[in-house]
Amino acid sequence: MSVVTDTREAVPSASAAPVLVEAHELSKTFDVSAPWLNRVIERRPRQYVHAVDGVSFQIPRGTTLALVGESGCGKSTVARLLVGLYKPSRGHVRIDGEEIATTLAGPGAQALRRRMQMIFQDPYASLNPRWKVQDIVAEPLREHGLVKDGTALQRRVAELLQSVGMSPADAQKFPHQFSGGQRQRISIARALATQPEFLVCDEPTSALDVSVQAQVLNIMKDLQRERGLTYLFISHNLAVVRHVADQVGVMYLGRLVEQAEKRALFATPRHPYTRMLLDAIPDIHMTGRARTPVRGEVPNPLNPPTGCSFHPRCPHANERCQRERPALLSLHGVRVACHAVEEGRI
């Protein structure tokens, strides 16, 4: 009997909790062609970037899926697709069984937007510097018509600030009066205003000092526990991922190459790219294992390698890898896209 199951259609969820978010064969292609006249003069064809290419996963309610991968692998594009900021070129996103593209085009759009919010990397850029914190945090409440009465609005903002460890008095200050970590807490308070179920966090702590990162991550974990929040958490930092994730998805050039429960992924990484990323982080357990820097560079996404797009950097690549793209298969209880793993070579 084969242990190989093709999961391109059905994506099993490892958690017992019901699925809240499902990405199915999600793809996004950007047209990055030069202007028409340049193309004609220079005889250049149209050019496309497959920023996200056939990504499928499920996130059980109340859990965190972290996406990792080097710059340009498509993490932020997945984030934007999941909250409907981009329309997929192919595939779809379902929240609680509802296909979001359909709902966002209809009368249920506002109700759905309330259920999902996004937190960005740079809290300063996403907070209006001329507004008081009171107005910043109250904005989604006003926009969605959730609280109309002024006193109730103030009370709600005070509650939201307290939920992220800030003082109600902070409502009267401006963003520049706070540190980076406090500003990110204000962003979180604002994101929580509509009582969302699903938060997409795109590198939310990458701009912060390490000690502050831990505080913000702990607040996010507490909020998850208290409110049953579901997170898609994007980070290029595996130490952060280890702290927050239930499942981890590793992306390479627009595709998911491995997805596993956090413990399994850190203990037994299967894909050569996951191994390379893990080998590059300082040894958390101090076992004396040497740190191996990440080898090679991400290929140009306009001209991706044939077959397995990781083959130019992979120590296990062979002729099949250059020719045939590996499918994401369920092997050893994880999802992994690698011929060598499938063949038992590694």
Ligand X SMILES: Nc1ncnc2c1ncn2[C@@H]1O[C@H](COP(=O)(O)OP(=O)(O)OP(=O)(O)O)[C@@H](O)[C@H]1O
d(CA 76, CA 201) in angstroms, rounded, equals 9
Least distance to ligand X, CB of residue 309, Å = 12
Judged by DSSP in three states, 269 sits in: coil
* Closest CB to ligand SF4 among residues 94, 313: 313
Q: Which option in ligand X, ligand SF4, Mg ion, none does residue 272 bind, with CB closer than 5 to 8 A by kind?
A: ligand SF4
Q: Which two tokens stand for residue 210?
A: 């390490």
Q: Which amino acid is at 249?
A: G
Q: Which amino acid is at 244?
A: V
* Closest CB to ligand X among residues 236, 320: 236
Site membership for Mg ion, residue 77 (CB under 5 A) = no
Binding segment for ligand X among 66-74, 169-177, 259-267, 276-284 (CB under 6 A)? Answer: 66-74
Per DSSP, what are the bridge partners of residue 334? 331
Least distance to ligand SF4, CB of residue 257, Å = 7
d(CA 178, CA 208) in angstroms, rounded, equals 13
Closest by CA position to 298, among listed 257, 265, 270, 260 = 257
Number of residues that bind Mg ion (CB under 5 A): 1
Q: Which option in ligand SF4, ligand X, Mg ion, none does residue 311 bind, with CB closer than 5 to 8 A by kind?
A: ligand SF4
Judged by DSSP in three states, 162 sits in: helix
Residues 5-44 contacting ligand X, CB under 6 A: 30, 32
Residue 305: which residues within 8 A CB-CB, separation 6 or more?
Answer: 299, 311, 312, 322
Choice from 71, 151, 287, 303 touching ligand X (CB under 6 A): 71
d(CA 249, CA 260) in angstroms, rounded, equals 7
Least distance to Mg ion, CB of residue 232, Å = 12
Please name the residue ranges forming H helices in the chain. 36-42, 75-82, 100-104, 109-115, 133-143, 150-163, 180-192, 210-227, 238-244, 262-267, 272-280, 319-323, 339-343
Residues 315-334 contacting ligand SF4, CB under 6 A: 316-317, 321, 326
Least distance to ligand SF4, CB of residue 326, Å = 4
Choice from 76, 187, 194, 235 touching Mg ion (CB under 5 A): 76
Residues within the interface to Mg ion (CB under 5 A): 76
Residues within the interface to ligand SF4 (CB under 6 A): 271-272, 308, 310-311, 314, 316-317, 321, 326, 338-340
Residues within the interface to ligand X (CB under 6 A): 30, 32, 49, 51, 69, 71-77, 236, 301
